[in-house]
Structure 1
Amino acid sequence: MRHDLDEAVIDPVRVTLDPVGLLPPAVQDTPPRHRARIAKRVPRVAIVHDWLVAFAGAEKVLEQIVTCFPDADLFSVVDFMEERTWMRGKKVTTSFIQKLPQAKKRYRSYLPLMPLAIEQLDVSGYDLVISSSHAVAKGILTGPDQIHVSYVHSPIRYAWDLQHQYLQQSNLTSGVKSLLARMVLHYMRNWDIRTSNSVDHFIANSAFIARRINKVYHRDSHVIFPPVDVEAFQLCEVKEDFYLTASRMVPYKKIDLIVEAFAKMPERKLVVIGDGPDMRKIRDKATPNVEIMGYQPFSVLQDKMRRAKAFVFAAEEDFGISVVEAQACGTPVIAYGKGGALETVLDSSHARPTGLFFDEQTTDAIIDAVEGFELGAVKINPADCRANAERFSIKHFRDSLRAYVQSVAPHFTLAPPAMPPLPVADPAIAAAALQLDQDHEEADAMRVLAVDQSGVLGGAELSLLEVMKNMRGTNETVLFDDGPFRIALEAVGIKVDVLDGAALGGLSKDGGMKRSGTGMIGGVMSLVRGTLEKSRNSDVIYVNTQRAMVVGAIAGLISRRPVVWHLRDIVSQEHFGKTQLTIIKWCTKLMLERVIANSTASAVALTALTRMKEERLDVVFNGISAEPFTELESVAQHELRARFGLPQDAFLVGSFSRLARWKGQHILLEALLEAPEMHAVLVGAALFGEDAYEAQLRAYVLEQGLADRVHFLGFQHDIAGCMKAVDVVAHTSISPEPFGRVIIEGMLAKRPIVAARAGGVTDIVEDRENGILCTPGDVHALAGALGELSSDAGLRKRLVEQGYANAINRFGTERYVESVQKILSDVAGKSRLKRG
């Protein structure tokens, strides 16, 4: 039995090209019982996974296994997944642990029962069993006429070489509990070795894990690297002067070592993204040159990865997906030279290096490596980093896995990886399916120019971002101001042009102007010229805000391109001046092809103003991704409160919006006077010249002696984390809200909602069903609702459950993006026919 792996074994590309000729000895010696089966038939396939609780690295591998074997049935010890689209509608067969007390939150506590649980899952009716295992899945019971292929992320690490580290971290180094834990782990090791004999063929996720499998199980394994979605990352060859590290903040990731190293290099800037149990310790070690950003959404992480000078990685990982993702952006890697990094990073011994290694997990070793990188010890080309990352693409994984399985089971004919089309007998259904295909083809060919006035990430911009990053076709954006919105768009691969919109900065919603009318007109025409230039290669102009609508409408009129306005305001005298309403009215009547309203209230107000025909107006509710919220499910509330410097024991009421009078933060502060046991958390900043209102809020807090009960957090990127840190989300607008995005976010955060009964809010909240509605501006009603929630845990629980279901079922991003795309595609198609 070999302890080293030759190139043929660890290169999945070569396996794909010639799977049979390059197989390890274990595969070449396939038992006769497997060859004796009926030739070339489609097997029944079972896929077994350890547990389904969060969409992390192992689940990303599982997603691709499911894609490779679309007709397979899925088994797991427990299944508490909330985001299930990647499962392709599969029902999961689970074990008895699924129904044990508190299994959802404390499933790991049932580890001693998991060997028994996995053995009770019945897969005897299947020909081919594929297990995805980092704990117990490989222990599934199979018979002599079944083939069991196990993709091993790692043998149970905390039972083997990381046992002592696990016991230390769990404070189980001494005492009766320590003795019990050691006995359980001893039992797990014996069971782990015994069940390895029932696996016919092992697949390791790296040569590093292949060596671990060999050491623990005395078995050879075939290496297929995990799939990395390299296509989600764009190459960036222009780097900025900062280093990046990103990871879950747990001890073995060694983020604290990286921070300590940069603390000794004050001239080098480090950005740290991630969250976890070690957050406080890492923050305490940070110096002014180290920016701790905490958890960040994917768009921010991607943007930082693209622009970083290098990615620093100090963990001993089995594989290390983030290392590959950094290289996909063209970013070099400075990594600890052990574990999976040795297989994913190419050092100076290669012709086209992508990074360099340090030999010890110490601050001095990291400092030496960074200084060597600064001095140019290794010349690294961003394009070479990208090319290396593409070795680990999703396509390579799928091709390699199917080729390997086919080689160990040559008597089977594997079903194609793509989902087979549904049989269509009804001509009407067939016609509808054909139309859907045509719609998709048109959408793929569609060229959209989106126009927005802002550079900040307000609600309208976040909603546009969701459309642009998920919509098919060629999409570009014009902004009238620079800022975080531009960064977020570019981070998802959208081309952005920023025009000088300073001329519009003095124009307010009420029609007032801070500069002369002549200067304003000149500024508008300058923006029209810039937008017109970009629109000539577009099929449709998609304008997102009121000022952008005026500019886009004029540009569309000149370029003969249809204009679709996504209306995110209530166009009434409460929100706009007479001049602005007149402009909106005539632009809508004469220059716009269609209008998309984000709520019934927005649509009603526009219809009252313009009398536009029903067929030109569509109501599409905003879609909001649940991913930032589900990613925090495992983070305790006390950790989130510590992250934002909030009190641990107080009942916190959160307000999430920019600081503006019509948003009504002062109503919440007044309600605090009637609810002395509560605290208010104000998340948001005065974005559009509303600094005086913020000053009034702060003065009121001091005058009323509320300084220890009101927490101003300012603008925050991590809205999901802030929402999960509070107990209730309060929406206090005193004027009708066009939609109410924060209400949906609060529901996704699983927090009870108290909201003002007006505008688009009534499309979202059913009083006493999924939230509580109050009269706008009614301080006493708000205080009463908050008091009721603080004292009634049952009410909070019911509102949270109904609210979450409402948010997921009615305001998902997929439905939202498809609806907007369908409207734009229809408009673009009609326009192309007219132009002939």
Structure 2
Amino acid sequence: MKAKVTLVVDWLDKYGGAERVLTSLNSIFGFKSCYTLINVMQEKDLKKIFPNTKEITIKETVLKKTGKYFRYFFLTFPTLIKTLKIKNEVDIIISSSHATAKGIKKANKNQLHISYFQARNLKYIWSEYRLYFRWVSCFLYPFIKVMRKADIKSAQEPDYIISNSKFVQKWVYDTYSRESEVIYPPVDLSLFALHIKKKDFYVAVGRIEPYKRFDIIIDAFSKLPNKKLLVVGDGSQLRELKKKATPNIEFTGFTEAHKVYEYIKEAKGFVHAGVEDFGIAPIEAQACGTPVIAYGFGGVLETVINNKTGVFFSQQSSEVLIKSIQKFEKINFNYVDVRKNALRFSIERFEEEIKNFIEEKYKNKIKNEYGG
């Protein structure tokens, strides 16, 4: 495919699941330019996406003046993304959107814009705004209503939308009245080998923020003093949850990736209480043969097989979670089968599917424009 392809992302700050998608996209298309609201990513992480950073031009908005405080200006995001000017000679625009990247404007009508939705976009202005803004949500609601209208309009910009799960696909249709294709994101399973010998502890991994609902997990294990829990990660709720925890609960704080893997592979179970649009961590756990206990809502329903590779609990409450832990311990999991389920989400599968999708849409566009 001889086409000039550019990348648009919401922002570049930390390297996580969404950034792994960018790494795969760059390995396929070799981007020479990237448009973003702001780039505050460390050079070592940027190189994971773009190995030769000298060969790519990253264009930012005026938000770059705010540095690491850019999130405080979230009300400006939908407007600022439209200030980025795509070059006229670009043929294909690929936007990676969990907020406003989808709203980028084409330079001309002949350009093809395909947006990969990493999650439900701008979750903090939709169903989860009370969780994010808590007591100030009532004061912000008039602004949120305006942002919702702008967000719906922005979602009409892409020619095609790819959702990262069926859960997000349904949300995209319900919220934006847009159809979308589902292509599951890549998971680097080479880092997570099968480990049969499990130890007698549970593990919970992730950013310790309100939407991850670590509070439910802490409450549950505080009522189960004979069961050990290891909480791996850092975040705004870490200090608060430490105060509530009983001696059977240990917090590691920020932990290097190789050490996180050691914890996950040895754990008897991986506990997950939040709502994920896809959720890479439960797949990484399964890749180690570690079964999952998860809140049965969102993307996890597509990645965990109930009673075979994990157990779901039906309500986000410590009481219901405790019952699921008790049920979990009665199941004799086959760790080999648990890993096999994770293999469905490999990097190779993602790169083949998204490459074929984009090439097909571009060929069809050329055919329609030039009559074959």
Which residue in the other structure is 1:132 paired with?
96
Partner of 1:402: 355
Give the Cα separation in 1 of the matches to 2:270 and 2:203: 5
**2:77 & 2:264 partners in 1: Cα distance?**
38
Work out whether residues 103 and 157 of structure 2, in 8 Å CA contact, stay in contact via their aligned partners in 1.
yes
User: In structure 2, which of residues 332, 346, 368 is the aligned counterpart of residue 393 of structure 1?
Assistant: 346
CA distance in 2, matches of 1:187, 1:212: 19
- Structure 2 partner of 1:93: 59
- Whether 2:164 is the aligned partner of 1:164: answer no
Query: Is 1:266 paired with 2:225?
Result: yes
Encode CA deviations 1:323-364: one digit per residue, 9 max, x unaligned.
01100111000111001110110113xxxx211101011111
Query: Is 1:122 aligned with 2:82?
Result: no
1:152 to 2:117 alignment:
yes
Aligned ranges 1:726-765 → 2 under 5 Å: none
Percentage identity across paired residues of the two chains = 36
SS of residue paired to 1:42: coil
Q: 1:91 & 1:80 partners in 2: Cα distance?
A: 15
Secondary structure of the equivalent of 2:116?
A: strand
Q: Which of the residues 287, 310, 319 maps onto 1:355? A: 310
Question: 1:104-123 alignment to 2 at 5 Å?
Answer: 104-123=67-86
Paired amino acid for 1:197: Q
Q: Which amino acid aligns with 2:92?
A: L
Bigger shift: 361-370 or 158-167? 158-167
Where does residue 367 of structure 1 map in the other structure?
322
Contact 1:205 1:319 in 2 (8 A): yes
Letter in 2 for 1:51: W
Match for 2:27 among 42, 63, 67? Answer: 67
State the AA in 2 paired with 1:310. Answer: G
Matched, 1:236 2:195: yes
- Note the C-alpha offset of 1:252: 1.6
SS at 1:55 equivalent: coil
Matches of 1:92 and 1:273 in 2, distance apart?
A: 33
> Quick check: 2:221–2:249 contact (8 Å CA) kept in 1?
yes
Amino acid at match of 2:84: L
- CA shift at 1:109, angstroms? 2.1
CA distance in 2, matches of 1:173, 1:215: 23
Separation in 2 of the partners of 1:281 and 1:202? 39
Q: Aligned partners of 1:367, 1:118: CA distance in 2, in Å? A: 45
RMSD: 1.6
TM-score, normalised via structure 2 length: 0.92
The residue identity in structure 2 corresponding to 1:305 is I
Match runs of 1:145-544 below 5 Å: 145-153=110-118, 154-168=120-134, 171-173=135-137, 178=139, 181-348=140-307, 353-376=308-331, 379-410=332-363
Taking the aligned partners of 1:337 and 1:129, their CA distance within structure 2 comes to 35
Letter in 1 for 2:305: L
Q: After superposition, what is the alpha-carbon deviation per residue over 1:577-618, rounded to whole angstroms, capped at 9, x for unaligned?
A: xxxxxxxxxxxxxxxxxxxxxxxxxxxxxxxxxxxxxxxxxx
Deviation at 1:411, TM superposition (A): 5.1
Alpha-carbon distance in structure 1 between the residues aligned to 2:225 and 2:37: 49
- Letter matched to residue 133 of structure 1: S
1:80 CA displacement: 1.6
| Structure 2 residues without counterparts, runs of 5 or longer | 367-372
- 1:78 and 2:31 correspond: no
Distance in 1 (alpha carbons) for counterparts of 2:220 and 2:338 = 25
1:44 equivalent in alignment to 2:1:
no
CA positional deviation for 1:81: 1.5
Q: Distance in 2 between matches of 1:162 and 1:389?
A: 29
- Over residues 141-166 of structure 1, what are the superposed CA-to-partner deviations in whole Å (9 max), with x where a residue is unaligned? 12321111000122210111112222
Query: After superposition, what is the alpha-carbon deviation per residue over 1:74-107, rounded to whole angstroms, capped at 9, x for unaligned?
Result: 1111112112212132221112222x3xx11211
Q: Distance in 2 between matches of 1:331 and 1:200?
A: 40
CA offsets 1:4-62 (integer angstroms, 9 cap, x no match): xxxxxxxxxxxxxxxxxxxxxxxxxxxxxxxxxxxxx6111111000112212222211
Does the aligned pair in 2 maintain the 1:42–1:412 contact within 8 Å? no
Cα deviation for residue 72 of structure 1 reads: 4.3
- Secondary structure of the residue aligned to 2:204 is strand
Residue in 1 that maps onto 2:370: none
1:180-207 CA distance string (max 9 Å, x none): x323322221111112222111101111
Corresponding residue SS for 2:270:
strand
Find the aligned partners of 1:316 and 1:322 in 2 and give their Cα distance: 12
Q: Which amino acid aligns with 2:328?
A: F
Q: Which runs of 4+ in 1 moved over 4 A?
A: none
| Conserved? CA contact 1:66–1:72, under 8 Å | no
Contact 2:32–2:57 (Cα < 8 Å) also in 1:
no
- Residues 78/173 of structure 1: CA separation in 2 closer, same or farther (3 Å cut): closer
Cα offsets for 1:533-592 (capped at 9, x unmatched): xxxxxxxxxxxxxxxxxxxxxxxxxxxxxxxxxxxxxxxxxxxxxxxxxxxxxxxxxxxx
Q: Deviations over 1:369-415 (max 9, x none)?
A: 11111122xx42111111111111111111111011122122589xx
- AA partner of residue 223 (structure 2): K
Contact 1:334 1:355 in 2 (8 A): yes
SS in 1 for 2:294: strand
Rounded to whole Å, the distance in 2 between the matches of 1:115 and 1:372 is 46
Superposed CA offset, 1:242-274 (max 9, x none): 111111111121112111111111221111111
2: distance between equivalents of 1:76 and 1:109? 17
Q: Which amino acid aligns with 1:384?
A: D
Q: Per-residue CA shift, 1:715-765, capped at 9, x if unaligned?
A: xxxxxxxxxxxxxxxxxxxxxxxxxxxxxxxxxxxxxxxxxxxxxxxxxxx
Any conservation in 1 of the 2:198–2:265 contact (CA below 8 Å)? yes
TM-score by length of 1: 0.42
Matches of 2:57 and 2:121 in 1, distance apart? 27
Q: Where does structure 1 lack aligned partners over 5 or more consecutive residues?
A: 1-40, 414-836
Any conservation in 1 of the 2:129–2:137 contact (CA below 8 Å)? Answer: no
- Say whether the 8 Å CA contact 2:131–2:210 is kept in structure 1: no
Q: Contact 2:100/2:154 (CA < 8 Å) preserved in 1? A: no
Residue 137 of structure 1 deviates from its aligned partner by 0.4
In 2, Cα distance between equivalents of 1:392 and 1:184? 38
- The amino acid of 1:354's aligned partner reads T
| Distance in 1 of aligned mates of 2:196 and 2:282 | 17
Cα 1:71/1:263, change in 2 over 3 Å: closer
**Superposition deviation, residue 295 in structure 1:** 1.7
Paired residue secondary structure (1:410):
helix
The 1-side partners of 2:234 and 2:62 are apart by 32
